Amino acid sequence: MLYPVPSKASNLAADTVEKEHKRLLARKSIIEKRKEDQERQQLEMEREEEDKRIKLQKITVEAEQKRLAAELEERMRQRILREIKWREVEEAMALLKEREKRMRKGMKKITVLDGEKVVMTKETVMERILREKIKERQEREKKLQGLAKTMDCLERAKREEAAPLVEAAYQRRLAEESEVYEGEQEREVEVSKERHESDLKEKKRLFRMLDNKEIFQASCLTRL
């Protein structure tokens, strides 16, 4: 059975179909690759966003912890100040009660302070006592600061006084080590000298043995 020979038109059509098929496959591959790239970029963006969210959350938590710690410290400081204030007030009230024993309640008393007449009432007495307590506290703090400064000066003076002793001990140590080193060097020189003399003696002994050997050989040859 004879088959018809393919014409140029049919060959061209087959080539066109093959090229179109390859083009479609290439386009499909490009689309799939582009889709994979988009998915990968999307995952990367989501991962970066998650990292940013975690970092921001960590910063927020740390800031909140610092804020709470600062608030706690401030509350403790205020509480201590209130306690100090109330102690001063209680002490002032105790002193006021002692003075009230010598004054009738509600009466005014004229007192001369620094050459001026001052009307003394319960309020003025309270204010004066509080000022005195505050002044006493400030004087105590000033004395403590002066004491701390004095202690620093004494400590510095002790260090400066001890510095020459430390330097002297260091110099003594250097002198002792230098003396030991010089002694070791002298012993090394002495040992080297003794070794050299021993080598010279050994060399002379070997020379004598060699001379005796030559004399002995010469005498033997003479006898022959």
Contact between 117 and 111 (Cβ < 8 Å)? yes
Identify the pLDDT of residue 9: 58
CA angle 103, 105, 111 (to 5 degrees): 40
Query: How confident is the model over 104-118, as pLDDT tens digits?
Result: 554 444 444 444 444
Query: How confident is the model over 142-175, as pLDDT tens digits?
Result: 777 777 777 777 777 777 776 677 677 777 877 7
CA angle 90, 93, 98 (to 5 degrees): 130
Query: How confident is the model over 25-58, as pLDDT tens digits?
Result: 888 888 888 888 888 888 888 888 888 888 888 8
Alpha carbons within 13 A on the beta-carbon side of 95:
16
Maximum average pLDDT range among 12-26, 42-56, 206-220: 42-56
Tokens 């050989």, residue located? 217
How far apart CA 41 and CA 215 sit, in angstroms, is 104
For residues 120-144, give the mean pLDDT: 70
Banded model confidence at residue 93, pLDDT cuts 50, 70, 90: low
Separation of first and last alpha carbons in the chain: 126
For residues 189-194, give the mean pLDDT: 77
Q: What is the pTM of this model?
A: 0.29
